[in-house]
Structure 1
Amino acid sequence: MRTINAAVFVSLDGVMQAPGGPQEDPTGGFQLAGWVAPHFDDALGGVMGKLFETPFDLLLGRRTYDIFAAHWPYVKDDPTGPLFDGVTKYVATHDPDSLTWQNTKWLGIDVPAALRKLKQEDGPQLLIQGSSQLIQQLLEHDLIDRFQLIVMPIVLGKGKKLFGNGTMPAALKLTNSLVTPKGVVVAAYERAGEVETGDFGLENPSEAELERRRGLAEMERKLKSA
């Protein structure tokens, strides 16, 4: 079986938009593009190199595919160029006829169904790079098995977020982590079943607590009837 691994550059407040450069994705008036480069060093380069050592196919949304197709085939002095050129690229798009990069395959109209089928097959992991819109779809359908979050020590405020409102709740376990000299936190998480909950409250709530709960319930009732 194949797994889906989302390797994501992300800010402390969860923004993943345009980490690579100013022209990458300025949609929505995003003005802080290119926020990874100042934090890149040999340690982070080693993380990325190790990520690409494990056999993989790429899983991309259309915008990230276009960014990669306009860049990596033309990069000859970085081993990532020939590597990305050679692996299979599975792409979510409404315009499959325009997929011209070699070794590219269209996921079809029903992306979740196509990925469920791919996950049942033998083959390398499916590695997501960028692809914020595709990630939202996969989160809604609980299809991501592993997250490798590369967290930059910055807050961006606005921008496309990694975890949107449609994310399926899930428990995760930390499987690996490190901190680079420039303060980048790299943390790998894998699925660990359902979310568990607990309660630090008193076994016998105080009258003040009961009154607080009644107030919240009344506020909720008024919001629903408004």
Structure 2
Amino acid sequence: MRKLIVTTFLTLDGVMQAPGGPGEDPSGGFAHEGWSVNYWDETMGQVMVEATSKPFAMVLGRRTFDIMAAHWPHASEEEGGKIFNDATKYVASRGRPNLAAWSNSVQIEGDAASGLAALKQEDGPELQVHGSANLIQTLLRHNLVDEFRIWTFPVLVGSGKRLFDEGTVPAGLKLVDSTISSTGVVIGTYAPAGEIPVGTFARD
């Protein structure tokens, strides 16, 4: 059985939209594209290298696939280029993405949740979700995420697409690893921990 892992760059107020630069996702009039860029340091680079140092496949929504497919096939010499280009990319889309634009890309046919649930049952490397805000909402509703790797940046943007949006199913999480960059980015790895353990501070 394969683990499905969500890796997300997040602002302190919970927005994951367009961390990488202008033109990435201006939908809804989002005015702060590229908010993550100037916070990167060597620690963050090392964490990313470790996350991609063992075999993995990628799971991407259509918009994220198009963004990455426009860059990585032409940037194989960049750090991570060969790794991303060689990995299998599973694309969740109701339309017909141009799979030929990026080698080793496969469309998830039919319902994305059912398709990914079936993929998880197969033998193979872990499934890493990058970006893909809309797809993640589907994964959350169907309880398909085995681990969250959340990179929280010390920045507030006010509005935009959120990782945990309306309709998120309440659940407890367990912090299993954490790292802090020199720029104040908190990188936390969380695993599902069942129902929320509620209590009270009220005295009898």
Aligned-partner residue type, residue 61 of structure 1: G
- Residue 190 (structure 1) shift: 0.8
Aligned-partner residue type, residue 71 of structure 1: H
Report the Cα distance in structure 2 between the residues aligned to 1:54 and 1:193, rounded to whole angstroms.
Answer: 28
Q: Which runs of 4+ in 1 moved over 3 A?
A: none
1:47-87, Cα deviation, whole Å (9 max, x unpaired): 11111113210000000000000000100331311211111
Report the Cα distance in structure 1 between the residues aligned to 2:153 and 2:124, rounded to whole angstroms.
Answer: 32
Tell me the secondary structure at the aligned position of residue 135 of structure 1: helix
- Residue 96 (structure 1) shift: 2.9
2:160 is equivalent to residue 156 of structure 1: no
1:156-204, Cα deviation, whole Å (9 max, x unpaired): 101100001111222111111011111110100011122221122344x
**Structure 1 range deviating more: 38-47 or 75-84:** 75-84
Instruction: Give the number of equivalent residue pairs.
Output: 203
Q: Say if 1:83 and 1:139 are closer, same or farther in 2 by CA, change over 3 A.
A: same
2:96 is equivalent to residue 107 of structure 1: no
Q: Which residue of 1 aligns with 2:117?
A: 116
Report the Cα distance in structure 1 between the residues aligned to 2:60 and 2:199, rounded to whole angstroms.
Answer: 38
Q: Which runs of 5+ in 1 are unaligned?
A: 204-226
2:174 is equivalent to residue 176 of structure 1: no
Q: Which residue of 2 aligns with 1:67?
A: 67
- Residue 105 (structure 1) shift: 1.1
User: Which protein has greater RCO, CA pairs closer than 8 Å, 6+ apart?
Assistant: 2
Aligned Cα RMSD in Å? Answer: 1.2
Q: How does 1:70-85 map to 2 (within 5 A)?
A: 70-85=70-85
Report the Cα distance in structure 2 between the residues aligned to 1:34 and 1:97, rounded to whole angstroms.
Answer: 25
Report the Cα distance in structure 1 between the residues aligned to 2:117 and 2:109, rounded to whole angstroms.
Answer: 12
Aligned-partner residue type, residue 185 of structure 1: V
- Residue 89 (structure 1) shift: 0.5
Report the Cα distance in structure 2 between the residues aligned to 1:147 and 1:122, rounded to whole angstroms.
Answer: 21
Tell me the secondary structure at the aligned position of residue 65 of structure 2: helix
Q: Which residue of 2 aligns with 1:216?
A: none
Please report the TM-score for the alignment, with normalisation by the length of structure 2: 0.96
Structure showing the higher helix proportion among its residues? 1
Aligned-partner residue type, residue 178 of structure 2: S
